[in-house]
Structure 1
């Protein structure tokens, strides 16, 4: 099918009665940066999200709260720490892959997460930094101990329920050195596997998994494949230590369940449905949706992401496809088939930031998609977050003028 221009999709969505935009954050409405603490959010984007309340939710592997949380970016964008809470200007939806739920007033919950799991997660960032300091000297022999300590501190993202090691700052010391970048990727994988083993030893076997970003899909055992560094594409930059069940595709069903509850007063998947109790593969999630969701009440879904990958296998016989947004975007399109609606997927070019990523600019989608890719990308935004924010604001304006602002309060 031919792709739509952003203006065409804008026209299509202006008058949709029941719309739900499910949007990733980093690389979509914000540039990717080496240090997440330097991220910035546009005030106009925050206002547009508020205008689209009832028709807009986020689905991110980042987190809402804490010093690295998106809530701080909202407050900074608006220059006000009080107004977002009073007026409900925080971004509603799921974070940490689906285990951190927030409404627009910043009210947080972690459905299905135990106290023991939260306690281990609280200790993980310090342990990550310690393990990095043990391993980095061998990989960066010319770097001083003081600089290594700074690098380790910057690399560890001390988020509440998805602590992460991000090596963008370390990769910046070896630009273009693909062999060293690959060794650093392997070091990171080994380190995080050790942390998983320590969780198992603490009696939390099966509680956590490793989310690799970007990735090349999953191995036969379900583990996410790292994307090896290559010339012009650093590949995997970070690994998140996440709670089992933190899958965006499961989160999509949680968000639809809540949307139907708010709009129609029915909770087809149950009030306690969450990503930790949801199935963990595409087929089972789709079957659950077909069996339990009233398709005649499905909203028109628009999925927005930036991380979709496709790389040919070594023997050239097929493709390794992954990316943290691929799963939920694929399920979203399948739900459109079930509900007989043209659900749409927007892919935003995140190569404009500080992180090496494949670009949409030349239209070939190398490293992103392929000629046999089953995921249909309806709209491409090669202009990156700036283009998307402009489009998003235009949509909010049109729907407000057209009286499509939802009366819902969530």
Structure 2
């Protein structure tokens, strides 16, 4: 496939008025770190995002609010110079896989989520920590009880809508010990399964699912597959306990619904549309768009992510393709094929951070894609978040100038 350079994409988007950029966060505009509380974001990126207005939205499995939310990272970046709520500098879009909706002024809602579900999620981090502490005592016998307690405490991310266990800190204690890293991944899957069972026992059957990151796609039952640790690639580091319907591809339609409301005064999928009532597969999501939005009204979509995986199956029967960004990037690409728009997929190299990830510099993109992959990666940002932020700022200037000229033409 003939790929575009970042400069070529910039030129291609010059003058496009009906543009919608849908972008992941961690690993794209922020380096991946072992402890998410240490994330940093560039203030210049935040102000550039605001220049796009309604033409930009985030779509992340992270969260907007809470002490671990990206809003805290934005506030830290801006310091005392700019007030994000007053100046509309929070990052708009969907978090927690699609159940946490925010506008530029930091107003957050959780459409389709019940009080009982929120109560279970609030209690989940304590239970995760308890189960993890117990399991670590068997797998890491050389660590003291106090050390194990601290490792478990650090590993549990008490996010509001998608509490998570992140093994990066534990993996760092046993570098290159692939056998025990794989055992830790199995422990993680087991304890999160216990939590799902407890939810069912409390009358919340069907309310939650487990998002495995990175993953190797889904098995025959629709469950996301672990990506086992191997030398040079730790594979699965996180499992998020997420609300059902929290799929990025469904979130793409929520953002498209918002875009149409802003630009045409119409909500093709309805005022109350959210990821929890959206179809849960690519075929039905595509059909919903085709039925409700005329192809000629579709905006030009640019999807930006960093987590796409492809690994050959152990039995050599084919490829296991996954990654938390694959679903929405694939749907975005398919929408372009249907509408006749040159939608573009941008992949940012997140191997530059503190987490072992396959690099885009590999000549065959091993572990990321394969020769028969239906997802076409149009632009590769080998320089990671630093390169992407520079390009993003350039595009913001170009786009804001385009919109200003459009407005001036309207006045004339």
Give the TM-score of the pair, scaled to structure 2: 0.97
Q: Check whether the contact 1:52–1:406 (CA below 8 A) recurs between aligned residues.
A: no
2:410 corresponds to which residue? none
Instruction: Please give the per-residue CA displacement for 1:200-228, whole angstroms capped at 9, x wherever unaligned.
Output: 00000010000000000001111000000
Q: Check whether the contact 1:53–1:405 (CA below 8 A) recurs between aligned residues.
A: no
Question: Deviation at 1:142?
Answer: 0.3
**Relative to 1, partners in 2 of residues 1:208 and 1:221: Cα closer, same or farther, differing over 3 Å?**
same
1:62 aligns with 2:62: yes
Q: Check whether the contact 2:17–2:402 (CA below 8 A) recurs between aligned residues.
A: no
**Relative to 1, partners in 2 of residues 1:82 and 1:389: Cα closer, same or farther, differing over 3 Å?**
closer
Q: Check whether the contact 1:249–1:282 (CA below 8 A) recurs between aligned residues.
A: yes
Q: Check whether the contact 1:15–1:404 (CA below 8 A) recurs between aligned residues.
A: no
Instruction: Please give the per-residue CA displacement for 1:157-182, whole angstroms capped at 9, x wherever unaligned.
Output: 00000000000000001111111100
2:258 corresponds to which residue? 258
Question: Deviation at 1:80?
Answer: 3.1
2:393 corresponds to which residue? 393
2:127 corresponds to which residue? 127
1:377 corresponds to which residue? 377
2:30 corresponds to which residue? 30
2:107 corresponds to which residue? 107
Gaps of 5+ in 2: 408-412
1:291 corresponds to which residue? 291
Query: 2:72, 2:31 → 1: CA distance?
Result: 16
Q: Secondary structure at the match of 2:253?
A: helix
1:18 aligns with 2:42: no
**Relative to 1, partners in 2 of residues 1:149 and 1:2: Cα closer, same or farther, differing over 3 Å?**
same
Superposition pairs of residues 113-262 of structure 1, within 5 angstroms? 113-262=113-262
Question: Deviation at 1:236?
Answer: 0.2
Instruction: Please give the per-residue CA displacement for 1:242-268, whole angstroms capped at 9, x wherever unaligned.
Output: 000000000000100110001110111
Instruction: Please give the per-residue CA displacement for 1:84-120, whole angstroms capped at 9, x wherever unaligned.
Output: 0001100000000000000000001000000000000
Gaps of 5+ in 1: none
Question: Deviation at 1:42?
Answer: 0.3
- The range that moved more, 286-295 or 84-93, is 286-295
Query: 1:315, 1:81 → 2: CA distance?
Result: 57
Q: Secondary structure at the match of 2:111?
A: coil
Query: 1:328, 1:115 → 2: CA distance?
Result: 28
Query: 2:370, 2:228 → 1: CA distance?
Result: 18
Alpha-carbon RMSD: 1.2
Q: Secondary structure at the match of 1:54?
A: helix
Question: Deviation at 1:404?
Answer: 5.0
Question: Deviation at 1:361?
Answer: 1.2
Q: Check whether the contact 2:251–2:274 (CA below 8 A) recurs between aligned residues.
A: yes
**Relative to 1, partners in 2 of residues 1:292 and 1:403: Cα closer, same or farther, differing over 3 Å?**
closer
Question: Deviation at 1:295?
Answer: 1.8
- The range that moved more, 10-19 or 324-333, is 10-19
